[in-house]
Amino acid sequence: NEKEVILQLNTISKIYKAIKAKNVIIHPHQLPSPKILRRYNFKISTENLPKRYNITISDLKRIFKKYPKFGFCLDISHAFSFSKYETSRLIKAFRNKITQIHFSCRYKNKDHQSLKTASREFLLSIEPIKKLNLPIIIETGFKKISLKPIKEEIEYLKKFFL
């Protein structure tokens, strides 16, 4: 529904300005038309999604052709759902478009898990991000509302980059 999309984008635009945001992520399967997006003055990125959405690197290339100003948010958990090589492939394909990294683990076929659950294979698959100097968004679903697990995740993340 176009009216609903415009209402949502108007709200996003107000929030973006109010908090001085730097980027808005819109999933590739939910992208409004370029005509609608031209009305807005905020930075937009799209991201790679888990394999179940069947959005491939080729699909993302087509999206970037249609929306050339878009950035790319690299989600390493989603990448691992394709293969242990997908993070490298995405970096190779979109290095100059990457605006940020959504950082979490894929464990037992579930996205956005704590890095403490990461397998050796997962950790090896994300080694290439160490060469990128980009903002990292911790995208882990914490079961408890507490600072302790958040602090632990941050410490784990720091160790990964050392």
Sheet with 44-47: strands ordered across: 24-25, 44-47, 71-75, 98-103, 136-138
Q: Is 153 helix (H, G, I), strand (E, B) or coil?
A: helix
For residue 111, the model assigns a pLDDT of: 85
* Residue 162 scores a pLDDT above 90: no
User: Are 158 and 133 spatial neighbours (Cβ–Cβ below 8 Å)?
Assistant: no
For residue 57, the model assigns a pLDDT of: 98
pTM, to two decimals:
0.93
